[in-house]
């Protein structure tokens, strides 16, 4: 247990610290990732609960009328500042991969998706000095982590009526962190030291959702999800079990005309369920988090809705794992995007551009530009 606590405590060493990638992904299980398609990302996440290519609401799967596949990639460019200095970094991830299709002759549709759950990529550098054989020797330590948690979802959606869709999803939460701790001495007569390990994760969850159309062109969404706990192994040894949150989301989608649609959503996750476990492992803890989003989509041609639409959105939320006790970080952002369809709408590309700002209100800030690109196929 003392070994695993190192990864939580190093970030607070009193020496100057430089960080690459996101400094807000150092604590706990990292930064939560929303399982959104590029289309939903471009609307700030507001369309996620209604989008068949996102993994927010299993009820949206019921809207699948033909085989659909999606592959997306996101490139992140970050600039981080804290009381010890500034640094920049970049990384790439694959936030959403999905395959779905209807079950012929029924009102059912199924989907399999692989999404990001949390991102824990970071590098931390600390400079200090220690006594060796009665002499003060400078040391430079670098702690790096590559990986995070992923969410493998199997979902079924049912068109119960023309105004009602229901869905249920089963989730396997997996992933790993490859961790390296490297120490270099200012005196070249001392050899550098490296310690490597790998943390692996495994958990199970379940989700349920509904889409309701009380009147024409107005749709309401609701989802509930419980993720149980995740088991953590260091190399081949079980070292901890961490409770994961229950969460719910609500959304509203209004289509005032054939060319336009507006949506808003609210999501809350009970991350405080992880608090006691993370503290026991040597971390600061966890707090409940929420996110609100609003966005719109303007179509050039309602007969070809995926071809060069204009999408825009904004979001605001809190992050569950504070860098310091009592300082919960928040994130807000704006996004825009578009897409093109070809071969009679059977294939297409979607693009989303996000600008995100993160801060804990007391010296730790970050600005990130995220470019998300997706390719979808509907033969």
Q: What is residue 305's DSSP assignment?
A: T
Average pLDDT on 118-135 reads 85
Q: Look up the domain containing 45 and give its range.
A: 2-127+136-377
36 phi, psi to nearest 5 deg: -115, 150
In whole angstroms, what is the distance from residue 289 CA to residue 270 CA? 7
Backbone angles phi and psi of 275, in degrees to 5:
-60, -55
Q: Are strands 289-298 and 310-318 parallel, antiparallel or unpaired?
A: antiparallel
CB–CB of 221/192 below 8 Å?
no
Comparing 84-88, 139-143, 197-201, 228-232, the range with the smallest average pLDDT is: 84-88
How confident is the prediction for the chain on average, in pLDDT?
A: 90
Tell me the backbone φ, ψ of residue 5, rounded to 5 degrees: -65, -20
Please choose, from the candidates 46, 45, 149, 34, the residue with its C-alpha nearest in 3D space to the C-alpha of residue 96. Answer: 34
Weakest mean pLDDT among 5-9, 179-183, 252-256: 5-9
Per-residue pLDDT band for 306 (boundaries 50, 70, 90) equals confident
Q: Is the pLDDT assigned to residue 17 strictly greater than 80?
A: no
Confidence of residue 90 (pLDDT cuts 50, 70, 90): confident
Between 298 and 18, name the one with better pLDDT: 298
Query: How far is Cα 75 from Cα 89, in angstroms, rounded to an integer?
Result: 11
Predicted confidence band at 316 (pLDDT cuts at 50, 70, 90)? very high
pLDDT at 13 over 50: no
Whose CA is closest to 19, among 93, 78, 94, 92?
78
pLDDT at 20 > cutoff 60: no
CATH number at residue 185: 2.40.160.60
Q: Which two tokens stand for residue 51?
A: 């989008």
Structure tokens of 7?
Answer: 């990864």
Going by pLDDT thresholds of 50, 70 and 90, the confidence category of residue 315 is very high
Rounded CA-CA distance 323/338 in Å is 35
Count CA within 13 A, CB hemisphere, residue 133.
3
pLDDT in tens, 221-251: 999 999 999 999 998 899 999 999 999 999 9
Q: Which of 50-59, 126-135, 296-305, 370-379 has the highest mean pLDDT?
A: 50-59
CA 37 to chain centre: 12
Whole-angstrom distance, CA of residue 7 vs CA of residue 16: 17
With pLDDT > 90 as the criterion, what percentage of the chain qualifies? Answer: 69
Q: Does the pLDDT of residue 14 top 90, yes or no?
A: no
The CA distance from 30 to 350, in Å, is 27
CA 309 to chain centre: 25
Residue 66 has pLDDT above 50, yes or no: yes
Q: How many domains does the chain have?
A: 1
Q: What is the pLDDT of residue 83?
A: 86
pLDDT value at 123 more than 90: no
Q: Which pLDDT score is estimated for 26?
A: 87
Q: Please check whether residue 35 is in contact with residue 95, taking contact to mean a CB–CB distance below 8 angstroms.
A: yes
Alpha-carbon span 286 to 345, nearest angstrom: 45
């Amino acid at each position: 247990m003392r070994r695993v606590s190192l990864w939580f405590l190093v970030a607070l060493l009193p020496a100057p610290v430089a960080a690459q990638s996101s400094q807000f992904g150092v604590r706990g299980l990292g930064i939560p990732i929303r399982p959104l398609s590029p289309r939903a990302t471009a609307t700030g996440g507001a369309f996620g609960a209604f989008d068949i290519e996102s993994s927010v609401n299993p009820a949206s799967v019921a809207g699948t009328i033909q085989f659909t596949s999606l592959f997306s990639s996101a490139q992140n460019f970050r600039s981080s500042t804290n009381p010890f200095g500034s640094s920049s970094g970049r990384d790439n991830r694959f936030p959403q991969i999905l395959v779905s299709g209807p079950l012929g002759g029924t009102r059912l549709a199924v989907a399999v998706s692989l999404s990001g759950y949390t991102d824990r990529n970071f590098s931390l550098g600390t400079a200090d000095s220690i006594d060796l054989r009665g002499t003060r020797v400078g040391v430079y330590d670098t702690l790096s982590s590559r990986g995070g948690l992923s969410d493998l979802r199997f979902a079924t959606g049912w068109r119960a009526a023309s105004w009602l869709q229901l869905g249920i999803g089963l989730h396997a939460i997996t992933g790993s962190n490859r961790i390296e701790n490297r120490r270099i001495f200012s005196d070249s007569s001392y050899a550098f030291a490296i310690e490597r390990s790998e943390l692996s994760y495994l958990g199970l969850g379940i989700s349920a959702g509904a889409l309701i159309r009380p009147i024409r062109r107005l749709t309401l969404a609701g989802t509930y999800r419980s993720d149980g706990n995740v088991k953590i192994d260091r190399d081949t040894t079980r070292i901890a079990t961490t409770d994961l949150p229950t969460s719910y989301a609500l959304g509203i989608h209004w289509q005032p005309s054939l060319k336009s649609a507006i949506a808003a959503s609210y999501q809350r996750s009970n991350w405080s369920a992880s608090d006691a476990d993370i503290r026991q492992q040597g971390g600061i803890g966890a707090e409940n988090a929420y996110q609100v989003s609003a966005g719109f989509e303007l179509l050039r041609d309602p007969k070809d809705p995926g071809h060069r639409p204009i999408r825009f959105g904004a979001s605001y939320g809190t992050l569950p794992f504070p860098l310091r006790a009592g300082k919960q970080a928040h994130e807000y952002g704006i996004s825009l995007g578009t897409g093109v369809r070809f071969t009679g709408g059977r294939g297409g590309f979607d693009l989303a551009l996000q600008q995100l700002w993160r801060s804990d209100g007391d010296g730790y800030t970050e600005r990130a530009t995220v470019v998300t690109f997706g390719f979808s196929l509907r033969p």
